[in-house]
Structure 1
């Protein structure tokens, strides 16, 4: 507890006002809780009510524009490890809590202090982090309400879907620094776009806005920014709410079938689809879906 809080409480106690002292304790507790939260580089929020099943990951490193530092990467890795085994989370939404910034990429100030070996190790760790996002079993939506450059855009590309404000700035700009997108950007962007267009964007380090990203197929939805700076986040939640009523096992298996199937020839893809379908046949959710259809009611899925 802070010294200021203790002084306030001591003064109140000296006037024998226990009720006021308790209120001050609560006030200080809220203040300290808020301060502690501000110090967290990623805030995890599990939504409730009609949004239950949505877990929001909020990037919260405003002083460095949410740039990837060692500490942020370590914290993020730990969170993803827990999420990968969370059966209650049906959709993950990745957003920024820093107005005007999604993620500015690597922390170049920290990078400047690294040796070549340390840089190589860090980039490898960052690449593994983004692969972990990509391989989460549930859908992941990136809500881009601010600038997403370099590793920031690479992170968004690792998500299953993306929403963006029309005027945000995006780009894989690494070649401006005499390097290349090294956290999966050279692999994900060509799979998303015409490879020749992906090469053009990477070779030129071109920066483009949300509207252009939608035209190119980089984002699923582009929205007009509003006064609260969270239009893309609102759209991402809207999209997540369309997903959560559906059978969670079916959604997870569909994601697995798509992601694995894209990496192989079509015949092998069919086999992967068959294997994924086989995993939904014995589930209670599948039976619940059939019963709900017959009884003309909404199904209640439990992920079993």
Structure 2
């Protein structure tokens, strides 16, 4: 699809968004644009049922391209800086289950990229962190917000204020990482899990919308959203298949319609 980001889809409807910019998948403006395009493709393509985001077997993404960023003045970065935020917003809003498969480093923008996914599966050698403070910066692609919602205010402050790296096992204890696997298994495990979600009902999209958007609302508004989306499920073929299978004491084969 792009020079550094590709989208491939297997026979089960699982797409892999693959970063490939040697040596460490540093995130430059071109990758920002290509990630946004990849997110839009995964959103729009009805044959894609679930998504894995992967940086390859050695490193997920070690952060922003600091050399490219250092060369920008205030006006240039003000004009371009929102591009990364918009790219990650597009990925976070893919209306299908997404899993980040993390090998090696996921630092700064790389950590923030992993936070756009519903789940993070990490290699046992993975390292996560938000080291921007050591550059005289703060996280600028969702790290101060998505991280806080995931691990809580106090721990997020510890991460952002200190700029340290944390291993996969520590991140699993914090709830940032959902599964830890040997490095040579993590991508395959993520794809395996994504295939299971790909077989699920269209209601998975409703569930993701209810949770992701509801957490931004007050409780009354969130409950109204839940009611709307719950009711919308009755317009799908999957709802009828699921209930018919339950009554017949069987298992539904969903069509995602």
Q: TM-score, normalised by structure 2?
A: 0.94
- Partner of residue 93 from structure 1, selected from 52, 55, 63: 52
Q: Which runs of 5+ in 1 are unaligned?
A: 1-36
CA displacement at 1:245 relative to structure 2:
2.1
| Structure 2 residue aligned with 1:251 | 204
Flag as ranges the 4+ runs of structure 1 deviating above 6 A: none
| Structure 1 residue aligned with 2:123 | 165
Q: Which has the larger radius of gyration?
A: 1
- Partner of residue 41 from structure 2, selected from 61, 82, 85: 82
Q: Distance in 1 between matches of 2:20 and 2:159?
A: 28
1:120-269 aligned within 5 A: 120-225=78-183, 229=184, 231-247=185-201, 249-269=202-222
- Partner of residue 5 from structure 2, selected from 25, 34, 42: 42
Q: Which runs of 5+ in 2 are unaligned?
A: none
Is contact 1:123-1:183 (8 Å) kept?
A: no
CA displacement at 1:62 relative to structure 2:
1.3
Partner SS, residue 43 of structure 1: strand
Q: TM-score, normalised by structure 1?
A: 0.80
Q: Distance in 2 between matches of 1:170 and 1:116?
A: 28
Is contact 2:36-2:88 (8 Å) kept?
A: no
Is contact 1:288-1:299 (8 Å) kept?
A: yes
1:51-62 aligned within 5 A: 52-62=12-22
- Partner of residue 102 from structure 1, selected from 60, 64, 76: 60
1:124-172 Cα offsets, whole Å, 9 max, x none, are 1101111111111111110001211100001101111101012211100
Q: Distance in 1 between matches of 2:242 and 2:96?
A: 19
Q: Larger % of helix: which?
A: 1
Q: Looking at both structures, which has the greater relative contact order when contacts are Cα pairs under 8 Å and sequence separation is at least 6?
A: 2
CA displacement at 1:233 relative to structure 2:
1.2
